[in-house]
Amino acid sequence: MRVLIVGAGGVGGYIGARLVAAGMDVMFVVREARRAQLAAHGLVVESPLGNFSGAVAAVGSPSSGFSPDVAIVACKAHALDRALDVVDAGRGPHTRILPLLNGVAHLDVLRRRFPDVPVLGGLVHGALTLREDGVVAHLTPFFSAIVGTETGAPDAVAEEFVRRLSAAHVDVRLSPDIRQDMWNKFVFLATFAGITCLMRASIGTIMCADGGEDITLQLLDECLAVSRAEGFAPDEASMSSYRRVLTEPGSTFTSSMLRDILSGHRTEADHIVGDMLRRARRHRIDTPMLKIALAHLQCFEATVRHNERTL
């Protein structure tokens, strides 16, 4: 099985490393600065589940002789259009496209761009980041992935990919309802990113603030209302888990979006919080906390763009 991975940051680098270690034929398509890092030092992953260091195939554009079974899109949402240009250039006649982005809006983008190509749904759980030195750092003691077809119908390529990823010692499962799984994470992540970015603090710190727990749960309830209107409300067991994680006293848990802010990088604010708010407005659901969270993030994004223009 051949796998094309667009991006060798946190998620793409981690999954790619596991597949390479298991003997899979993997090609990364990356920007020039990242390609130079990989050429000089190889792909390096530091993880509580096992480190990896080794040479990998990394190119600036897909090789014409490499026809992948699966093309993984592992980029930030704001880089999606460029990533899909790469996929379009590198895919073969039977390639499955597997986006591993947060949120759900990108599925509509892929359906419009590739109406006749099998597109899988997927998501990962676990905090990963690409450090300035080029190392993929795994920040949580767990990592898991879920993959599935949008319809839930069997797909031999998806099944084989999951089997190979499992053989590479990755906690992965094939889902019969991947859209619901993605919505579950979307509800949690919009709340988690929204509140930690708005407060510029970890969950534990927010819980120490006056009204911190109430504000967090109000934001979660707003996201739940949107998912219910869209027909994808998480089950009560999932919601209980989200409430527990989002209100845990002393938790040092922070979102990747907050880490992007603190590093001065662009965020996925529009793709996550913005998309949730747009859906709320379509259903005429009042979401005051979502409005505040998005306005806050938009101000940050405007500042980043201004700084980039003036450098």
**C-alpha distances in Å from residue 236, one per residue of 228, 233, 241, 242:** 12, 9, 9, 10
Alpha-carbon distance of 63 to 49, in angstroms, equals 32
Which residue is catalytic, options 34, 179, 185, 279?
A: 185
Alpha-carbon distance of 102 to 80, in angstroms, equals 12
* CA-based nearest residue to 301, from 30, 293, 102: 293
Domain 180-302 is found in CATH 3.30.1490.20: no
pTM listed for this prediction:
0.93
Count CA within 13 A, CB hemisphere, residue 243.
Answer: 12
Provide the β-strand partners of residue 124. 145
User: Which tokens in the block code for residue 178?
Assistant: 């991947």
pLDDT in single tens digits along all 311 residues of the chain: 999 999 999 999 999 999 999 999 999 999 999 999 999 999 999 999 999 999 999 999 998 889 999 999 999 999 999 999 999 999 999 999 999 999 999 999 999 999 998 999 999 999 999 999 999 999 999 999 999 998 889 999 999 999 999 999 999 999 999 999 999 999 999 999 999 999 999 999 999 999 999 999 999 999 999 999 999 999 999 999 999 999 999 999 999 999 999 988 889 999 999 999 999 999 999 999 999 999 999 999 898 787 777 75
Domain locations in the chain as residue ranges: 2-176, 180-302
Angle (CA) 252-254-260 rounded to 5° is 140
* Model pLDDT, residue 310: 72
Name the superfamily (CATH) of residues 2-176.
NAD(P)-binding Rossmann-like Domain (3.40.50.720)
**76 tagged catalytic:** no
pLDDT averaged over the chain? 95
* Model pLDDT, residue 311: 59
